[in-house]
């Protein structure tokens, strides 16, 4: 049986998508702060959201009420250029006064299993306000890869250690499927022709990791990603 599909949105180009997404994040933040006094955001890593993050310093307000988490992180030393938090800091958080204790980076402790347990302790008890996710060419999202445990069962840990990821670096930490689903909104951000085949497989009903987290989500695409080639 095909999985439920999300809402698909094709933007004029990658720049237009980045601007529209940054404006949407700022708007959701303002609404969340007005309604609940805080904004809890899960960040996607990789190259795709970088241009969106670069626009947020001009759009966001009340930074003292923002709380940032990572959907996944590479198990690399702090400050390493391939860490997701290094990209986020360069593009965005290094330019705005979000309190350091509310920017929840992955601490490098002992081993990935211990790091996963430690990161789970800092997650909020309530649902996230917004989760941002990317899409890999193989259909993975966060560091939830095909053929690996997705942690969709509520009995699974909230954060998983990954020791043999399908792309480098192999050691990672990722929020589990069920914890990512505990969110008021989920946005997938997908650009480039290299992602078109994965989008097509998702639309065809393949149970890719992204598809299993995508029911009810919004998928933001540029025209290159939205070409729907036949699988």
The CATH number of the domain holding residue 78 is 3.40.50.1360
Domain membership of residue 156 (yes or no) is yes
Domain membership of residue 31 (yes or no) is yes
Domain membership of residue 1 (yes or no) is no
Structure-block tokens of residue 76 = 């690399």
Domain membership of residue 171 (yes or no) is no
The domain tally of the chain equals 1
Instruction: Please say whether the beta carbons of 80 and 74 come within 8 A.
Output: yes
Give the per-residue pLDDT at 3: 59
- Residue-number span of the structural domain to which 144 is assigned: 8-164+208-221
Give the per-residue pLDDT at 4: 62
Domain membership of residue 90 (yes or no) is yes
Instruction: Please say whether the beta carbons of 139 and 202 come within 8 A.
Output: yes
Give the per-residue pLDDT at 107: 87
Give the per-residue pLDDT at 68: 98
Give the long-range contacts of residues 96-102, CB within 8 A, separation 24 or more.
Answer: 96/56, 96/57, 96/60, 96/63, 97/63, 97/64, 98/63, 98/64, 98/66, 98/68, 99/64, 102/66, 102/67, 102/68
Domain membership of residue 47 (yes or no) is yes
Instruction: Write out residues in the chain with pLDDT < 70, as ranges.
Output: 1-4, 228-231
């Amino acid at each position: 049986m095909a999985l439920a599909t999300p809402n698909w949105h094709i933007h004029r180009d990658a720049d237009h998508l980045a601007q529209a997404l940054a404006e949407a994040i700022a708007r959701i933040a303002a609404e969340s702060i007005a309604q609940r006094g805080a904004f809890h955001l899960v960040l996607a890593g990789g190259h795709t959201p970088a241009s969106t993050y670069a626009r947020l310093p001009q759009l966001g307000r009340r930074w003292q009420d923002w709380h940032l988490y990572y959907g996944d992180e590479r198990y690399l030393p702090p400050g390493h250029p391939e860490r997701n938090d290094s990209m986020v800091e360069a593009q965005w958080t290094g330019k705005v006064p979000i309190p350091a204790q509310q920017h929840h980076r992955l601490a490098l402790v002992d081993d990935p299993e211990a790091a996963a347990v430690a990161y789970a302790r800092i997650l909020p008890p309530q649902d996230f306000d917004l989760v941002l996710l990317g899409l890999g060419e193989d259909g993975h999202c966060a560091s939830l890869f095909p053929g690996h445990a997705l942690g969709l069962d509520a009995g699974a840990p909230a954060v998983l250690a990954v020791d043999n990821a399908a792309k480098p670096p192999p050691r990672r930490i990722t929020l589990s499927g069920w914890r990512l689903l505990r969110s008021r909104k989920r946005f997938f951000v997908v650009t480039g022709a290299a992602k078109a085949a994965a989008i097509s497989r998702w639309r065809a009903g393949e149970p890719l990791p992204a598809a299993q987290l995508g029911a009810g989500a919004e998928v933001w695409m540029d025209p290159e990603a939205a070409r729907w080639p036949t699988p």
